[in-house]
Structure 1
Amino acid sequence: MKQPPRPRRSRAFPPQEPASAPESAPEDDRRGAAEVVEAPQASMRGEESGSEREAHFSTGARASRIRRGSEARDERTARRERNRELRRSRREAAARPTSGDLLRRPIGQSDAATVLGSSDESATADLGERRKERQLAQRRLVLTRIATVSAVCVVVAALVWGIFFSPLFALDTSKVSIEGLGEDGATTSEVQAAIQPFASTPLPRLSTSKVSAAIGQVRLVREAQVERTWPRGLKITVRPRQAVLAVKEGAAWSLVDDQGVSLSSSPSMPEGMAPTTLPDGDERSRAAGEVAAIWAAMGDELRSQITMITHDGQTVSMTLSNSRTLNWGVASENDLKAKVAQVLVSQRQARTYDVSSPVHPVTS
């Protein structure tokens, strides 16, 4: 048989313990009898009111438990929803590419959307700001390049002006050294006068060939070599002319070099020089050079017997001692002709010696 359900006790109001009896007092003794008589009736009424209260409290506790259970279910449901949202956001964050991934691989359309943002108005504003920043950066780069190029051009122009046009490297004639003339002060002064027109010309623009040509106009200078000595000087090495021929001019002898230039004069025939007669005009320089070459090819024994060398512009003839004649011909094969003439003059007595064809000499 099923047992009848026990009445549930309310948890809201636990059973009250009977209050302890108050301490007896002299006044209570007088009321004790009346309380003993009324006790059974009061206990009956207390039992009835207690059962009603217990039934009321049982109904309230059941409703409270139902309400708390519903609240707990709602709270668990809300907690599960929050957990699902949290897991979903974590999965989305894990699937979304990071900035490092975007830098390590080419950016596609989806990644570009991630980098640049969405296509709403805020993303469009960001793109506009980025375009403006890029345009400003490009403008600054162009201005920087223009400024750099301008500064370089200014520096180059200043260097060009300072080197080629300023007096910083201008020629100072007091800093010009001349070598090769020895004690010939007159020729040195002429050389200094020849370079005077080039004074104050910057050395980078100074033509050394023009300076050398100007110095070559000096009568006693055969050749001049010019070198720059920075910052404002020159070094000039002069090769002076040397007299090798003595040309009879009236009662005196004019000392001439191998180019036909008269260097000085002498009242007597200088020793070691070839007594010569040269043609006038344009042939003089060439004739002097040919006579100087013939004189250099001869030996001392043959030279000592020559009293005059005559060049008519085409051929050369010589007058020997004792009124003998040596026909040299054109100035070619000078070494061979000099050897043949030396043998003929020393071994044969003749009035005329002809070595114009050295392999077939003729005497008469």
Structure 2
Amino acid sequence: MVSDQLADRLAERTAMARYRMWRRIGWIALALAVTAGLVWVTFFSPLLALDPEQVHVSGQGTTVDVEQVREAVTDEAGVPLPRIDTVGLREEILEMNAVKNVAITRAWPDGLTVRLTSREPVAAVPQSGDVYALMDAEGVRVGTVEDVPDHLPSIVVSLTDDEAGRRAMNAALEVLGALPRKLAGGIQTVSAATQDDVRTTLSDGRVIRWGSEAQVELKIKVAQTLLRAEPSATTIDVSSPALPVTR
């Protein structure tokens, strides 16, 4: 009798252990199936695939070829968003002309948002072949045109020495890049005999002598004040902003 009870208990415990083992196996199998399903949905399913209609590009300004950017992004059409190499895509876009910076974010479930920072030209520089290079404030060429655009000044750098001419050009571009839109819009030509002799000629003929690009923010404030205070002055010299000169 006792031996029968012990055998029953042993069988019961064995059955319970077997049940627990199979239940554990079942839960593990279910977890693996769910995980596999999630992986498939996330990385391989068309549910999260990039839809070209959901690609939004902004910030192209006046210089970036937005269709070129869009084409690069939509080459990833059909690829699930988690698998898209946004770092590599960003590097590809940064190599395009006139793109200064770009941020790419996933717009779930099937889109991408591309925010561009464009390089905007601040001046046109005469080139051989009767064309003009459009330059941004950092001296990067963003385009070539046959005629100077109405809203941009042309730059003349008189030095023939390459290094000195480059320094003069950079100084002129830095001054132009710092100017507020209203003042920059009134400039017709820019000259820089040296990096310390940047001059701008306004459309009304008045000349502003900036000197170098140093203290340009202060020089701009002084020049704006003198333009208002002495409208009859033909030359405003703010190369030494603490001691400006007009004549």
CA deviation digits over 1:234-261, x for unaligned, max 9?
A: 3444454432212122433333233422
User: Are 1:187 and 2:71 an aligned pair?
Assistant: no
d(CA) in 2 for partners of 1:226 and 1:334?
A: 34
Find the residue that maps to 1:254 and give its secondary structure. Answer: strand
d(CA) in 2 for partners of 1:150 and 1:174?
A: 39
The answer to whether the 8 Å contact 2:55/2:112 transfers is yes
Q: Is the alpha carbon distance of 1:190 and 1:311 closer, same or farther for their aligned partners in structure 2, counting shifts above 3 Å?
A: farther
Provide the residue aligned with 2:175 in structure 1: 291
Q: Is the alpha carbon distance of 1:123 and 1:356 closer, same or farther for their aligned partners in structure 2, counting shifts above 3 Å?
A: same
Q: CA deviation at 1:163?
A: 1.2
Provide the residue aligned with 1:257 in structure 2: 136
Q: Which of 112, 130, 138 is residue 234 of structure 1 equivalent to?
A: 112
User: Are 1:144 and 2:62 an aligned pair?
Assistant: no
CA deviation digits over 1:37-94, x for unaligned, max 9?
A: xxxxxxxxxxxxxxxxxxxxxxxxxxxxxxxxxxxxxxxxxxxxxxxxxxxxxxxxxx
Find the residue that maps to 1:215 and give its secondary structure. Answer: helix
Letter in 1 for 2:15: L
CA deviation digits over 1:329-351, x for unaligned, max 9?
A: 2x232232234456499599899
Q: CA deviation at 1:156?
A: 0.6
The answer to whether the 8 Å contact 2:55/2:74 transfers is no
User: Are 1:158 and 2:37 an aligned pair?
Assistant: yes
User: 1:192-211 maps to which residues of 2 (within 5 A)?
Assistant: 192-211=70-89
The answer to whether the 8 Å contact 1:257/1:288 transfers is no
Provide the residue aligned with 1:335 in structure 2: 217
Find the residue that maps to 1:332 and give its secondary structure. Answer: coil
Provide the residue aligned with 1:358 in structure 2: 241
The answer to whether the 8 Å contact 2:236/2:244 transfers is no
The answer to whether the 8 Å contact 1:248/1:277 transfers is yes
Cα RMSD, aligned residues only = 4.4
Provide the residue aligned with 2:154 in structure 1: 275
Q: Which has the larger radius of gyration?
A: 1
Provide the residue aligned with 2:199 in structure 1: 318
Find the residue that maps to 2:79 and give its secondary structure. Answer: coil
Letter in 2 for 1:317: V
d(CA) in 2 for partners of 1:324 and 1:180?
A: 34
User: 1:122-141 maps to which residues of 2 (within 5 A)?
Assistant: 122-141=1-20
The answer to whether the 8 Å contact 1:298/1:338 transfers is no
Q: Is the alpha carbon distance of 1:255 and 1:232 closer, same or farther for their aligned partners in structure 2, counting shifts above 3 Å?
A: same
Name the count of aligned residue pairs: 236
Letter in 2 for 1:318: R
d(CA) in 2 for partners of 1:284 and 1:171?
A: 48
Q: CA deviation at 1:137?
A: 0.7
Letter in 1 for 2:9: R
Find the residue that maps to 2:180 and give its secondary structure. Answer: helix
Q: Which structure is richer in relative contact order (CA contacts within 8 A, separation 6 or more)? A: 2
Provide the residue aligned with 2:189 in structure 1: 307
Q: Is the alpha carbon distance of 1:159 and 1:285 closer, same or farther for their aligned partners in structure 2, counting shifts above 3 Å?
A: farther
Q: Is the alpha carbon distance of 1:359 and 1:197 closer, same or farther for their aligned partners in structure 2, counting shifts above 3 Å?
A: same
Q: CA deviation at 1:148?
A: 1.1
Find the residue that maps to 1:214 and give its secondary structure. Answer: helix
Structure 2 unpaired stretches of 5+: none
